[in-house]
Amino acid sequence: MQIPSAFTPPPRLLLGPGPSNVAPSVLRAMARPLVGHLDPAFVNMMEEIKAMLRAVFLTKNEMTFPVSGTGSAGMEFCFVNLIEPGDEVVIGVNGVFGMRMCDVAERCGARVTKVESPWGQIITPQQIADALKKVPKPKLVAIVHAETSTGALTPVEEISKLAHAAGALFLLDTVTSLGGCPVRIDDWQVDAVYSGTQKCLSCPPGLAPVSLNPRALEVATRRKTKVQSWYLDVNLLSSYWGQERVYHHTAPVTMNYGLHEVLRQVLEEGLENRWRRHEQNHLALKRGLAELGLRIVSQDGHQLWQLNAIGVPPGVDEAAVRKQLLADYNIEIGAGLGPLKGKIWRIGLMGEASTKENVETVVNALRKILRK
Ligand X SMILES: Cc1ncc(COP(=O)(O)O)c(C=O)c1O
d(CA 162, CA 111): 19
Comparison of 154 and 281: residue with beta carbon closer to ligand X? 154
Looking only at residues 73 through 132 of this chain, which bind ligand X when binding is defined by CB under 6 A?
75, 97
Residue 196 lies near ligand X (rule: CB under 6 A):
yes
The one-letter code for the residue type at 370 is: L
Total number of residues that touch ligand X (CB under 6 A) = 15
Per-residue HEC secondary structure of 296-338 comes to ECCCCCCECCCEEEEECCCCCCHHHHHHHHHHHHCEECEECCH
d(CA 177, CA 173): 8
Out of 16, 66, 71, 258, name the contact with ligand X by CB under 6 A: 71
Stretch that binds ligand X, among 38-46, 69-77, 315-323, 340-348 (CB under 6 A): 69-77
DSSP state of 295: -
Residues 6+ apart with CB under 8 A from 48: 260
Show the site string, 200-219: x = touches ligand X by CB under 6 A, - = not: -----x--------------
Pairing status of strand 344-348 against strand 307-311? antiparallel
Residue 142 lies near ligand X (rule: CB under 6 A):
no
Residues 6+ apart with CB under 8 A from 214: 61, 62
Out of 21, 94, 154, 176, name the contact with ligand X by CB under 6 A: 176
Stretch that binds ligand X, among 79-87, 168-176, 222-230, 328-336 (CB under 6 A): 168-176
Comparison of 49 and 365: residue with beta carbon closer to ligand X? 49
Residue 353 lies near ligand X (rule: CB under 6 A):
no
Q: How far is the CB of 44 from ligand X (least distance, A)?
A: 27
Asked whether 193 and 117 are in contact (CB, 8 A), the reply is no
For ligand X, the binding residues (CB under 6 A) are 17-18, 70-72, 75, 97, 144, 148, 173, 175-176, 196, 198, 205
